[in-house]
Chain A
Amino acid sequence: MSTTSIPAPRTGYSRHKSTRSKFEMFAWLFMRVSGIVLVILIFGHLFVNLWAGEGVQAIDFGFVAGKWASPFWQIWDLLMLWLAMLHGTNGLRTIIMDYAEKPGTRMSLQVILYIASAIVIVLGTLVIFTFDPCPAGADPALLASFCSAA
């Protein structure tokens, strides 16, 4: 009696090319990778700004100047800004795709989302890089102590 071989299902045959786009695969992966990095960045941010010392009560212009005097916190905040905005924008894109059914609604909500995100990312990046911790003519009492050091 000869053995019959049965071909494994779903091999060597497909009706049409896969419609999965590389972009959606990338977006799915990005949510997971950026998510892990954001857990570290945001819990670090919350620890320093809300938990340590006086918490939120200690935050003022001088506090921000003190942090951004160090490239460490500049890069931390820059990375947090970009990753959080892209992660959030893609999350809202997913939600728009799920609930907005009319093509016009889908399109206009997405346009509003992308414009708002682009403005916030560009504005935030400019603020981090053009920030002046010791603006000329400002009340010295509001500035970080290193501004008045000779």
Chain B
Amino acid sequence: MAKASTGTLYRGNEGMWSWVAHRVTGVGIFFFLLVHVLDTALVRVSPEAYNAVIGTYKTPVMAFGEIALVAAIAFHAFNGLRVILVDFSKSGPKNQKKLFWGVIIVWLIIMIAFVPRQLMHTFGG
């Protein structure tokens, strides 16, 4: 966290929280990516080894892990596009708060679509 000893206009609002969430989701996605490349590398060991590990991705507990992963990726992706608009679009900085709520709405649409689909894949139906 930045160490401003006095309050600023920026602190505690959409701009700051989207920045915090961007960092948290970014770090989470990075560590998943390290694990994901290693588990995929098992295809070079044997079909049995790969299938055993990828089998753990199909359990109910991991199904919720994948929902969390998609939630993190979707937020990071849409907020990243928001950052690009703020940096490069003339009206971006002025509309950064509106853009943040746009990110939340698109993120919600993705999650409302993905969560039932993922639960159907996992629990059948």
Interface residues, chain A, with chain B CB atoms under 8 Å away: 32, 35-36, 38-39, 42-43, 46, 50-51, 54-57, 59-62, 64-65, 81, 84-85, 88-89, 91-92, 95, 116, 120, 123-124, 126-127, 130-131, 135, 138-139, 142-143
Contacts and interface: CB of A to CB of B under 8 A. Distances in A.
Interface string B27-46: 10110011001101101101
B37 A42 contact: no
Contacts of A46: 70, 73
18 contacts: A35-B81, A42-B77, A46-B73, A50-B66, A50-B118, A51-B114, A56-B118, A59-B58, A61-B47, A61-B51, A92-B30, A120-B33, A120-B38, A124-B40, A127-B43, A135-B46, A139-B47, A139-B48
B37 A123 contact: yes
A51 B44 CA distance: 26
A56 to B, nearest CB: 6
Output the residue of A55, A60, A135 with the most chain B CB within 10 A: A55
Given A46-B70, A61-B47, 12 more contacts: A42-B77, A56-B66, A56-B122, A59-B58, A60-B47, A64-B43, A81-B37, A91-B30, A92-B27, A127-B41, A127-B44, A130-B44
Contacts, number: 103
B121 interface: yes
Contacts of A124: 37, 40-41
B100 interface: no
Contacts of A39: 77, 80-81
Contacts of B122: 56-57
B44 A54 contact: no
B11 interface: no
Given A50-B70, A124-B40, A138 B118 contact: no
Contacts of A62: 47
Contacts of A50: 66, 70, 114, 118, 121
B81 A55 contact: no
Contact of A59 (B33, B44, B54): B54
B73 A54 contact: no
